[in-house]
Structure 1
Amino acid sequence: METRAPFVIVGAFILAAIAAVFGFVYWLNNTGGLGARTSYNIQFSGSVPGLLVGAAVLFNGIRVGEVTSLALAADSPRKVNAVIAVLPDTPVRADTKVGLDFQGLTGVPVVALEGGAQLAASGPVPTLVAEPGAGQSMTQAARDALRRVDSILADNAEPLQSTLANLKTFSEGLARNTGKLDNIVAGLERMTGGGPAAAPKIVYDLTLSRQRATTPRQLKGQLVLADPSAILMFDTQRILVTPPGGDASAFADVQWGDSIPKLVQAKLLQSFENDNVTPPPAREIDGIESDYRLLVEIRTFQIELGDQPRAEIGLSVRILGKEGHIVAARSFEAARRLETNNGPAAVKAFSEAFSTVASDVVGWTGEILRQ
């Protein structure tokens, strides 16, 4: 047994070596690149830096073959002709896109193929032409971009210098007018409601001084009060103040509870109710059919400053019949002095002046429309 053992080991080793050789040959024929291949010609319009014979060929990112030949084009020294060998079932079409891809940290170049739009082969595939710039590496592309930027800067050196000079002049102007710019920004903040939150304003209402009448005042038809009209200055909740020969302003800490036209309409209706007028007047918005309409135009509703500030109210009133004709028209005015020049004193003076005007309007209307 001892003399036969070495022969068994030697025989097993020889059989293993033969199997390894057959396996290696099989790998070469099927995977290692010695199997059946289909060759295609590729033409690059520029340089192909780093591309070597034996470089991988990828189709949609999958390795399908290798480069078998590289040579300069005989008809144009700027072009490079390459031959690739790929697996027979690789779907190379006439419109297959060709380019170079650089893989890994070292940027090893490979030929990259991308499937075309044609679904089936349409005869022999002609020479595949790579897109212009397909052989450019990232470094070369960066160099070309910088070269173009440098060319643009060189061609436009004078306009750029002029622009920089204008920017310098503009920045110097901004520096000289920093204070004015701060004021402009602060004004914009106030106009748009920005900046620190303003303190809430105190809201006031007109107070009528006349008590309710006990004897009813009968009108000969239904009276409806239209929404009073006013210029834009008086269509506000601000308590307006006008200095002599100056522009209107307002008290900063007080305001009316509603816009002046709405306030006038509500208080006139209250005055008619206090005077026990029947049928009671209504607003147009109530939808009541009217026999007469009371039109009110606000002529003035402000504090006039001077030696003695005073609250001035002026109304122009017209009574219209059912057909729209003017039955009567009259202007009403009243003024009251302010005890002190502040918001509460202004509200008190306005209330006294409006009580007088409202009483006159109600009395005049009752006389015109008395039954």
Structure 2
Amino acid sequence: MAAAQGSPSPQTDKGSAPSAVPVTAAVVREKSGPFTFEELTLDTVLRPDEVLVQVVAAGLCQTDLHVRDQALPTPLPAVLGHEGAGIVERVGDAVTTVAPGDRVVMSYQACGHCKPCLTGNPAYCAASFPANFGGSRLDGSNALHTGGEEIHGHFFGQSSFATHSLATERNVVRIDDEDIPLELLGPLGCGLQTGAGAVLNSLKVAAGSSVVVIGTGTVGLAAVMAAKVAGASPIIAVDIVPERLELARELGATHTVNGREEDTAARIAEITGGGADYVLEITARPEMLTLAVDALAPLGTAALIGGAPAGAHAPVNMNALLGGRTVRGVAQGDSIPQLFIPQLIDLHKAGRFPFDRLITFYGFDQINEAATDTRTGAAIKPVLRIGE
């Protein structure tokens, strides 16, 4: 097993190699400010568990924009990006699962030695927040700088809005399939595995179960596709954007509800005959979590997947829970990326998880346009083409 991120002392990797490389990165310097391109230096005296990746592409996610706007307190200036894919250039002395030249997807970071990690639940790592949002390694050190100024990196163990990324063995997934374009695969490391994993891993939805998905962005549409894979029926997609509801139907939803035009709770009750077995709430709006609980059948489960702003609270009908109803949170779809991402690729190759239909490509220099399109809904899953 690789050493945990934050090993006490840096060590050089196998063979002679430069101690730093120049990178072009999209930097956020101030709250709600633009991504600006800067030439930075990335220290590459690799620790035993570290992996240097030349980034080919990276998905842009709402989480990146929440951090840009400081709804989540990653310190600035910072290089964000947490859905990267690329080619391994170098590895640390203890790395055994990837090698230079391997194609990899980068996913979330975990410490590897706390109780959740050791029991196969790394998405709930005890150090999850500092490991992913702290803007540094777990020991507080950082590999990115310009001149004498430190730039916060290691975002989700990668900071992949850059031409090179310093990840770890723990958060890279080797992709053996040479037939699928690497630029498609970055979003599998976060949004897609979160939505699909919520259905297949967290809730273990059985065939014939009724599933409601509130919010049909990347995570929600991944959940719709996974519900179809699981054999769920009915599959009800809820949103206020007609075009997304139509796409949800094409990807597997048996019914759609426009929450702006219809009484959502009444329609769910009508379609399901009284309540749903599973409701996935992805919008992170408190009133939608209240709705999710109210829409459940007895013994049903509501899963909160969307990340709400710090301090958000939602009222829940306590008596509804006495009917055996459950409310639980889901992080990263309870996924072990090295196991689950290859499964999603296999489903994609079989035509059962057509996530490519969600993707719009942008040049790296179009990152601010991609961010705007994400917020307006013009793009479901922007992917930035960064390298060759």
Taking structure 1 as the reference length, what is the TM-score of the superposition?
Answer: 0.19
Tell which structure's C-alpha radius of gyration is larger: 1
Could you say which structure has the higher strand fraction?
1
* Higher RCO by CA contacts (8 Å cutoff, separation 6 or greater): 2
Taking structure 2 as the reference length, what is the TM-score of the superposition?
Answer: 0.18
